[in-house]
Structure 1
């Protein structure tokens, strides 16, 4: 059964989780595949928001910007990293102090962690905060005093409206990411598949399309099957998901 929350308008995930603990290793080298991530040492003061990536011990990235984590970095999680029953506040920000090793382990295990982080001109994160994917995230202008800060108003709930295509990333039941855009599945979302998802599905005699049941589609993604799809969204809710071949 799909979560009830997917039948309502849900906020788009634009920022997420993170943690701090051990001192960053300034000499850490990016792992293979991280060649396009900017060197942390070249980072300028800025606020980052998006999916957290593991580069090396003590070195993470958001988007194409890498940064280091020091012992002074303030890290709050509680949702997917260091999950707790009351792990976030009313704004969807993590409230649980979490160690870097736990976050790195979660990232290496494939957990999708969305986070906001402030990086100083030395390329070191001053704070990292996990955010509920259904929450407003951090302000686009970066005008925030860090975790729990009062400066800068949160964005109004909402989500992307338009079409995005690419490989679907599984976040949670009925919650996916495509081309860097998070979205939810509603009760009336039309899922057309038949390639890898619902491969044995019955084609419509008039259109030739295979309508895929949500539970089967979700289970296929959760099992790690690569599915390419075009997704039409309104306010972060998918109106249709159409699988296509590479």
Structure 2
């Protein structure tokens, strides 16, 4: 499909002109509808762009490489991180304690699952270009961000906060930009999270002359994880947010 057709389809979804699940509405029909639509009625402008956001809900197939969640269309790129394990790329141990899939999944398998009529729930991190940076399947009975059960990762939930507090140690798993899982515990990275690495993340970083530690930039650390590099770390978490992430060698 040509890029201009994809862009038009995305714009249609953005302004509510796409009727999800309509078997009689082809992509070409939607393009023709966009051409004839009155801008005053849609509110569309030539410079309209998608907004970077997280989408959560039932994933629906629109066209190869195009999906919709909650009436918002988005595209899949070659470097989109797709994680399944429940219905998409199912596996015996394909779901973690947080209800999220744990199996790396390819686009073809995901599309085949959706086209076969299987219902898949997912959380999508979409950038401002309307492209998914990550797609993570989750169990429909588990909402993304649900706190872990007490005792997960060696700590406990703090009453009234809804977030895990404690220390979690093990292999980091990438979920979305700034959102990871370690030892079955989900957590987020804040602006003031101290990231100490130097082994695989920020391997060329400059060591502190006094401590020998390498302070790692979040963007570089996040990109290393998103690329599939295995990183072991000890994470100090308060209310579901990492105070520090310290990489260690196996």
TM-score bucket of the superposed structures, by smaller chain: 0.3 to 0.5
Structure number with larger C-alpha Rg: 2
Q: Give the alignment's TM-score, normalised by structure 2.
A: 0.46
Q: Give the alignment's TM-score, normalised by structure 1.
A: 0.46
Higher relative CO (CA 8 A, sep ≥ 6), structure 1 or 2? 1
User: Which structure has the highest helix share of the two?
Assistant: 2
